[in-house]
A and B are shown apart, each in its own frame.
Chain A
Amino acid sequence: MGYLNNSVVTVDAILTNKGRELLARGDGSFRITQFALSDDEIDYTLYNPTHPSGSAFYGQAIENMPLLEAFPETTQNLRYKLVTLPRGTAKMPVLDLGFSQVTLKQGASLAITPQTLNYLGNNQVFEANGYTATIADVRVLNTFNGVGIQTEGAVALNQTETLGTNVSSTVVGTTINMTATTVNTLFGSNTELNTTLQVIGRDSGARITIPIKITKTNA
C-alpha cells in the first residue's frame, strides 16, 4: 500500500496585454469568469498508437516535451483550445467560410458568413455566439465589422476604431463585412496587398485562416 498522490498542480499566471489594459481601466472590467484549456505546441503526429510497449506509452513523446513560457500577447495564446464533445466523436468541428482565399479589388465589398461543420450533431450550423474574425493588417480594409451578435462586448469590439500601422483588428459577428481599401499609397510599386483573415468559432473553438489579397485598380 502506498500513499496516494494528492498534490495539486500550481502554476503562476501572467496577465496578457488585454488583461493589463482592463486592469488599468479600474472599472471592474477585469473580471475572470471562465477558463479554457489549450494544447498549443502539441504535435499529435508524435502520438504513437502502435507503440510496442502498449497504450501507456502512446503519448510518451508528447508528455516529456519541454514547454515555452506564456506570451503576454493575447493573440499568441490558446490558439488551439481543447473542446468538450461527446465520446465517440469521429469528426472535429471545422469552419467553412465558403472561400479558401479572398481576392478583392480596391473598394470592393464582401460579406462572409461562417458555418461550423460537424458540431453538436449537425452537419453544418451557425454558432449561437458567433465568430471572432481577426484581420492581420487592418490597413488593407476601409471597413471591417461584424454583425449579428449584440452582446455588449461584441458591440464595443465592432465599434472600436483601430489606429496605427500594420496592426490587427478583431470583430465579432455571425457575418463579417469587409471593404477593400481605396488608398493607393499602401501599394507602393506593388499591384496587390496581402494579409490573412483568421476566424474562430466562439462556441466550438474551431478556427480557420485564409489569405486575403487586395488588387490595385486605381491609377
Chain B
Amino acid sequence: MTGDAIWYEAAQVVGITNALNVAADGLGALGPVDEPGAPAETRALFAEIRAFYGGSADVPQGFRFIAHDPAYAAEVWAAARHAYADNRLTRRFKEALAFAVSVTTRSASGAAFHLAEMRRLGVGQPGVMEIAGVTQMFSSYTKMADTLQLEPDMGSIAPVDPTPAPGGPAQ
C-alpha cells in the first residue's frame, strides 16, 4: 500500500462517506423527495444511483434528502460515484473503508448500507469481521494514545512518494 495516490483515493472515500452519512442521519427533517412527482433530472439521477448499487430498489436516504436541489445532488453523486468506483483501490475495499468510517462515526445507517454493499460485492462474514476487528482495535489504540498524549513515532516507516501531482511536471 505504497504511493500517495491510494491515500488520496482513501481520503475521498472517507470524506464523501461522512458527507453522505451526515445527510442521511441529520437531514431527515427535510423529508425525502417524492420520486414519482420529482423532475425528470431527479428521477434520472435516482435511476443512475440505483444502477451503480446493483439495481437496488433503495436510493441511499441521504440522496433523497439532498435531491430537493437536483443540481446539487447531481454534483454530490458525481463525486461519490468517482470516489467509490474501482480505481487503484477496488470498489470492494472502498466499501470496507466506508463501513469502517461509518462504524467509527456511529452512523448506524451508513454502517448498515456499506455492510450490505460489502456483502453484495463478495465479502464474506470472515472478511466483515476482519474489518470490524480492525475498526474496534484501532478505536482502542487511538483512545489510549490520546489519553496518554503519545507523540507520533512511526512516521519514518513509510517511504516518501517523490512523484508529482497527476499531470504535473516531475521535480
A, B bound = no
Q: B interface vs A, CB < 8 Å?
A: none
